[in-house]
Amino acid sequence: MKNKFFLSLFVLIIICWIILNPLFAIVKKITIVGNKDIAEDEIVQTSELLGNFVFFYNKNSFKKKLKENIMIKNIHLSLLSYTEVKIEIIERNFIFKINNSNTKGLIDSDGFFFYFSDLADFPNLPFLEAKEDKDISIATKLLEMIAKEDLNIYFEISEIIIDKIIGTQIYTTNNQIILLGKDNFDIKLRQLKIILNNSLKINRTPRFIDLREKSKGIVNYNL
C-alpha cells in the first residue's frame, strides 16, 4: 500500500514538474521584457517564433535571428508554457557615431564598433573622430568621467575629436569648444566644472575653454 502511495506521489511530482517546466512549445503567445527602443512588433517579426515549434535544441537558432539586430546586445529565451515563450532583451547602449570618408557606423558603451549606414536613426548621438582604436577607448572613458562629474547638465556634446597634436577636443550643441589636451582628464574636468559654475553665476556663456595646461585655464566668453 505504501509503495503504491509513494509511486503515485512520484508520478504526480513528475507530472507537475513537466507542467511547470515545459520541454517544448508551439508558440501562440510571446511575452517581451527589457526592450526600450526596439518595438515589440519588430522583435516578434524578427524572431519568427509565432506558430513555430520551440525545443531546447533549436532555441539558439531563434536567438541568432534576433541578434542580427545590432540594437540587441543579449537575449534570454525561456518557455513559460507549452504555447507561450518569454523573450528577455538587453539592448545595446550606443554612445558615438562615426562618419568618416571610409567608415560609417556606431560605437557602443563597451567600445565596440558596428557598421551602420543610416546614422539619421540616431540624431542625439555625438560624433567621434578617432584615428586609432586606443582613441575610442579614450573617448569612451571620457564620457564616463563627464557623467560622473555631472557635466551633462551644463552642455550637450555634439562631437569629440581625438587629435595627436591638439589632444582631445569637445564641441557642444551650444557652439562651445573645450580643449582638454592629452592627459589628466579627471583634474581638468573638475576644473571645467568650476569654470561652468562660475559662468552661471555671472550669467555668461563660455564659448572657448582651453584646459590643455592643467595649471591654468583660458576662457573666452561671448559678448
Task: Tell me the average pLDDT of the chain.
Answer: 86
Domain stop point among 91, 117, 137: 91
For 68, the 3-state DSSP assignment is coil
Same domain, 112 and 203: yes
CATH of residue 179: 3.40.50.11690
Pairing of strands 24-26, 53-55: antiparallel
Same domain, 144 and 194: yes
Same domain, 83 and 98: no
Within-domain flag for 2 = no
For 41, the 3-state DSSP assignment is helix
10-19, 125-134, 178-187, range with the lowest pLDDT: 10-19
Same domain, 145 and 211: yes
DSSP string for residues in 73-124: EEEEEEESSSSEEEEEEEE--EEEEEE-SS-EEEEETTS-EEE-S-GGG-TT
Same domain, 134 and 44: no
Same domain, 61 and 41: yes
Domain stop point among 44, 76, 91: 91
The per-residue pLDDT for 196 is 93
| Rg of the chain in Å (alpha carbons) | 26
Within-domain flag for 191 = yes
More confident residue, 34 or 17: 34
Measuring CA to CA, which residue among 117, 208, 108 is closest to residue 155? 208
Letter for the amino acid at 62?
F
The count of structural domains within the chain is 2
The per-residue pLDDT for 21 is 57
CB atoms within 10 A of CB 2: 6
* Cα distance from N-terminal residue to C-terminal residue, the chain: 98
Check residue 126 and report its DSSP letter: P
With a cut of 90, say whether residue 83 has pLDDT above it: no
CATH of residue 53: 3.10.20.310
Check residue 125 and report its DSSP letter: S
pLDDT digits (tens, 9 = 90+) for 132-184: 888 899 999 999 999 999 999 999 999 999 998 899 999 999 999 999 999 89
Residue range of the domain that includes 33: 22-91
What's the whole-number mean pLDDT along residues 83-112?
90
Same domain, 83 and 100: no
The per-residue pLDDT for 158 is 95
Letter for the amino acid at 188?
K
Q: Which three cell numbers stand for residue 113?
A: 564598433
The pLDDT-based confidence of 37 (bands split at 50, 70, 90) is confident
Measuring CA to CA, which residue among 138, 118, 120 is closest to residue 128? 138
